[in-house]
Structure 1
Amino acid sequence: MRVLLIAGIASTPGMAFAKEVQVDVGLPKPVVVNTDQPLKLALFIEIGTNSAVQSTVTGVRNMAKKYGFEFDVFDARFDVATQVNQMQNALLNGYNAWIVVPVEGSQVCESVTKLAPEANVLVAQSTGTACGRSSKEGDELWSPGTLVYVGGNETPNAFKAVMEKAAADNPGPQKVGILTGPNLHPITVAFDKALEEVKAKYPDFKVVAVHRTDYSPPDNQIKTQTMLQANPDLSIIVGAYTNMSKGAVPALEAAGKLGTVKVYEAGGTAWSVDALKKGWIKATTGFYRQTAAETAVQAIIEARAGKPVPHVILNDGHAPIPGQKSGEVGIVTLDNVGAYEPQSP
């Protein structure tokens, strides 16, 4: 990313000079930041009742205390039309930077890559992608028009890693149940792509049930009960996030199948660490939404100061855990759980 500092010209004697920073966001015209104006940030989230999303808010709040800026949270409650409307309103209310976790990436694309930069608003994407990039990897996760993408632990390859762990741990024919989030959500799109690749690579990994959920543990408990009733010989459950496991475990316990049906998930939390130690789940993945949000804010701060910012920051901006290769998600098991510090309850 190229940054150019420009001193404004005083047209009246005694007038203070305004300092502008031109930030290259991959478009013909840069975003022009007036650094005389304090940072006023809008944080767009999917749903505020989710524990992982709350970690995103915590990350921004930490940085607001550190740097002394104002921010407001816009909760779309998993409604993309609401989120788009919130962005349109934000453009009229003086925000000069956004952090965006989209409900659905394609429908927010124009707002984050065209309308916001045209209004000289810096946009950082935190864990979620825009413009149909949910199924991409690496540098392709960044959308031109935005400052930075911070994430990488909710891509197809990240989900594929935990699915392949499940397949490797359990050789031979398996009957697998899947718990994901809502249709069209960027995480669901990435998860579905990974699932198709794993099914093609591991023919014994037979998926017998796929359930969409609202991410809440109660909904996942109900969906797991339905899976078990329809598939009494189910052997593996794979969830897109720890809340899927939080619902699956009590359903399995009630059915007398806790430990018999192996549970794998993405998005390790404090609950996941305890569940690994108790044997309720077999593996999870590193997930750092608080760090991702903090890293996104730091990128905005540095861009406003005229410093270069990479377009893509992987592993949610977090240091790797033991055994994790660069550019890949960290798999957390009983063997290395002691080195994993979760950021969500």
Structure 2
Amino acid sequence: MKFTAKAMIAATALAGLATAASAEEIKTIGVAVPNLQADFFNQIKLGVENYAKEKGMETIIVDAKNDTATQVSQVQDLLTQGIDAFIYIPAGAAAAAVPTRLARNEGIPVINVDRTPEGEPGDTFIAGESVESAYEVCKTIIEMAGGEGKMAIIHGQKGTTPEVDRFAGCNRAIEENPGVELVSQQWSQMWSPDEGFSIAQNMLQANPDLKIIFGQADALAMGAAKAADVAGVSDDIIIGGYDGDVAALEYLAKCEGPFKVTATQSTQLMGRLAVDSAIAVAAGETVEERQTPNAVLTTCENAPEFVAQHP
């Protein structure tokens, strides 16, 4: 099942941009990511890196390790290295606008991926349609739980674009099901499995009859699944995730355990689209303000195809 609301076919957009401009204007692309320990960001990095190499361009990639001050410093350094375009995923909501402003002051194209800084957008924003796809994930896990029961949400980093949008979508599904009671919400800092585990443990201790958990990223959902295993409630709880991380897809493909559903994003495609967008902007071409590759609702039935080839 594909999420179609407000979605565009990213492959078509890629083809259009690729023919509209050449890579002659861009020799070096700076790429700032929040945290390369996360598979989601690694997949985007691979998409950028491999596609840029095909086009004869160099990439300089910096990892902020989820620290906004570090990211600002790294971007300042990138600008001293003579980059021709800037692909930017903010490390957090605080100071997120600063790197965009720095790059714009140098006349460098700015391509935002996954997250956009409030008040200082880049030339285009490439991200999955988190509201509708999170709605579908939460709708599905609620249905799997019989449409009722106590539910918890493990949020991502507070105030970031995906955290806000995924809550909006999931909350809509909750509101449509009066038999579901949202009893606990906690925010993570790193979107990590360790955080998912510890947060879910606390949730399960406070609510031993918890029936549904939505982790706003697969890493959080995987941590929650481990906590359910440790607590001995794996057969009594339904967990949903988001992103389509490789480890999560491999887990789902086994068709066992409490983690049942995710939304697989076209992460490597997002990286390639970011490169083509940078080329187009540098060449003076018009680029859509928002570009939205499709996401696919993923269960154990269709997970194996994404394990074989991640989009």
TM-score, normalized by the shorter chain, greater than 0.5: yes
Distance change >3 Å, CA 290–CA 343, structure 1 → 2 = farther
Give yes or no for contact 2:126–2:292 (8 Å, CA) kept in 1. Answer: yes
Gapped regions of structure 1 (runs ≥ 5)? 1-32, 134-142, 321-328
Q: Measure the CA separation in 1 of the matches of 2:86 and 2:201.
A: 40
Query: TM-score scaled to structure 1, two decimals?
Result: 0.74
Structure 1 stretch 201-210 or stretch 118-127: which is displaced more?
201-210
In structure 2, the partner of 1:131 is 118
SS of aligned partner of 1:42: strand
Q: Percent identity?
A: 24
1:66 to partner: Cα distance = 0.6
Q: Secondary structure, in 3 states, of the residue corresponding to 1:84?
A: helix
Alpha-carbon distance change, 132 to 202 in structure 1, aligned in 2, over 3 angstroms? farther
Instruction: Give, in angstroms, the shift of residue 172 of structure 1.
Output: 4.1
Output the CA distance in 2 between the equivalents of 1:334 and 1:38. 42
Q: Residues 6-60 of structure 1, C-alpha deviation per residue, up to 9 Å, x if partnerless?
A: xxxxxxxxxxxxxxxxxxxxxxxxxxx9x87652211111112112111122122
Aligned ranges 1:94-243 → 2 under 5 Å: 94-105=82-93, 107-112=95-100, 114-131=101-118, 143=121, 146-153=122-129, 155-213=130-188, 214-243=190-219
Moved more, 170-179 or 231-240: 170-179
CA shift in 2, pair 1:313/1:37, >3 Å: closer
Q: Shift of residue 117 of structure 1?
A: 2.7
Q: Tell me which residue corresponds to 2:224.
A: 248
Question: Which of the two has higher C-alpha Rg?
Answer: 1
Secondary structure, counterpart of 1:73 in structure 2: strand
Residue by residue, what CA displacement relative to the aligned partner does 1:114-166 show, whole Å, maximum 9, x if unpaired? 44233210111112222269xxxxxxxxx3xx33221124x223222211222
Please show how residues 1-345 of structure 1 align to structure 2 within 5 Å.
38-105=26-93, 107-112=95-100, 114-131=101-118, 143=121, 146-153=122-129, 155-213=130-188, 214-276=190-252, 277-280=254-257, 281-305=259-283, 307-315=285-293, 329-341=295-307
Structure 1 CA distance for aligned equivalents of residues 88 and 174 of structure 2: 32
Residue deviations 1:170-199 (CA, integer Å, cap 9, x gap): 334311122122222332222333344334
Q: Deviations over 1:63-113 (max 9, x none)?
A: 23212222211222112222233333433432221001112356322542x
Counterparts of 1:161 and 1:104, CA distance in 2? 26
For the structure 1 residues 224 and 132, does the alpha-carbon distance in structure 2 shift closer, same or farther, using more than 3 Å as the test? farther
Aligned residue pair count: 286
Specify which structure has the bigger relative contact order, considering alpha-carbon pairs within 8 angstroms and separated by 6 or more residues. Answer: 2
Equivalent residue letter for 2:32: F
Change (3 A) 1:159 1:78: same
User: CA RMSD of the aligned region, Å?
Assistant: 2.6
1:178 and 1:123 mapped to 2: Cα distance? 33
Q: Which range moved further: 283-292 or 333-342?
A: 333-342
- Classify 1:230/1:92 alpha carbon distance in 2 versus 1 (closer, same or farther; 3 Å): same
* Gap change, CA 1:255 and 1:306, over 3 Å in 2: same
SS at match of 1:279: coil
Change (3 A) 1:104 1:216: closer
Aligned mates of 1:340, 1:71 — CA distance in 2 = 27
| Structure 2: gaps of 5 or more residues | 1-20
User: Structure 2 vs 1, CA of residues 132 and 166 (structure 1 numbering), >3 Å: closer, same or farther?
Assistant: farther
Change (3 A) 1:297 1:88: same
The SS at the match of 2:201 is helix
1:201 to 1:36, Cα distance in 2 relative to 1, 3 A:
closer
